[in-house]
Structure 1
Amino acid sequence: MDHMRKEVIIQEINFWKNHKMLPETYCDFLLTLYSGEGQPDIKTSKPKSHNNILICLFLGILIGCNLVLNYFTHFSFAMQMTAAVISVILLTAFCFYTNNRTFLQIGLLIGALLFVLSTVQAAEYFQLGNVSLFTMLLANCALWIFIGKKFSLSYFWIAGFLGLSLVTLFIAKLYNIF
């Protein structure tokens, strides 16, 4: 290639790099290619770490333990609720420390389901009655709407609004409002 033409191309690539018109790695690659400074370095991809497998294993064990403790054993209510609360706290902490959006969504979803199941189980255990149960369910739905807005998860706020509608419908039907 003509030397003058190479200089124009190199100047243009430097301009792109300085004005962030292309990612820096692309510009470096092109500069190396056109400047003739040896072969461009093509980085080999690193093998994926086992973090994703460990995270999935952690979430699976957490769900499994809660299901076994709450539905297949005769442990005391206090122990079941303690396990559920610890699980929700662990999932909340996990959601704040994860950088992966998929794992954030999975953690939030599992945490929300465990939380609603725990509140319903607590309402049944303490025999609080329909008003308290409906209030807890409305609070859960409001929390889902908040989470959906905060993290831009449309399925959370849709589920929250649907839950609010269903609970309101049940309240209206129970007290013959319609």
Structure 2
Amino acid sequence: MDRARKDMIVKEILYWKDNRMLPEHYCDYLLALYTEGNRPKDKARKAKGFYFLNIILLLLIPLSLLFIYFTELSFILQMGLLIFFTITGVSLAIYFTNKGIAPQLPLAVSALILLLISVEMASHFFPHHNTALYGALMLNCLLWIAAAWKFRQHYFGISGLVGLIIIVISIFI
């Protein structure tokens, strides 16, 4: 079989493997068969793409703070951008989970941006009522505890419990 045809078949098998059209062990067997065991590892290319996504995710936090505190955008536009950033983080968490990569960073970034959204909304709609701010913070902490239970991420549970304790202490002091 000529080289161009083998390369085309190998690319097709890699496509099947990436999109889970065949079980992974079948694809590995076919790749070993068609490449005669000499298939180059493509893990470095995939890892570079995930590093890029992680950097983009981390940049969403300072970008969110920039939109809230250092621009003259309207409140609705600010909240729309922050909600878009949150949806992006959750979408990347789902994407990472489907690719078999731990979704901790997208979940943490989404949680922090959601915290920023809720604090800004409480401050905007109830400017002189601390109870609304406390309620928003408690709701976020409870959401983090629920996320810890759902995604089995212990740091969410710890953060939620510590946050609740700090809020309760600050209410009564």
| TM-score normalised by the chain length of structure 2 | 0.69
Name whichever of 122-131 and 78-87 sits farther off.
122-131
Contact 2:54 2:105 in 1 (8 A): no
Distance, in Å, in 2 between the alignment partners of 1:71 and 1:110 is 18
Question: Quick one: which of 87, 90, 105 aligns to 2:88?
Answer: 90
More helix by share: 2
Match of 1:45 in 2: 41
Match of 1:109 in 2: 108
Distance 1:41 1:159, change over 3 A: same
Amino acid at match of 1:46: D
Distance, in Å, in 1 between the alignment partners of 2:77 and 2:133 is 21
Distance, in Å, in 2 between the alignment partners of 1:55 and 1:75 is 26
Match of 2:145 in 1: 145
C-alpha displacement of 1:162: 0.6
Distance, in Å, in 2 between the alignment partners of 1:128 and 1:87 is 28
Where structure 2 has 5 or more consecutive residues not aligned to the other structure, the ranges are 1-24, 30-35
Q: Secondary structure at the match of 2:42?
A: coil
Bigger relative contact order, structure 1 or 2 (CA pairs below 8 A, ≥6 apart): 2
1:123-134 to 2 correspondences below 5 Å: 123-126=122-125, 127=127, 129-134=129-134
Amino acid at match of 1:158: I
Match of 1:62 in 2: 60
Match of 1:156 in 2: 156
C-alpha displacement of 1:61: 4.4
Contact 2:142 2:160 in 1 (8 A): yes
Amino acid at match of 1:168: V
C-alpha displacement of 1:100: 4.5
Q: Over aligned residue pairs, what C-alpha RMSD do you find?
A: 2.4
Match of 2:171 in 1: 171
Contact 2:148 2:155 in 1 (8 A): yes
Distance, in Å, in 2 between the alignment partners of 1:142 and 1:72 is 30
Q: Which has the larger radius of gyration?
A: 1
How many residue pairs get matched? 136
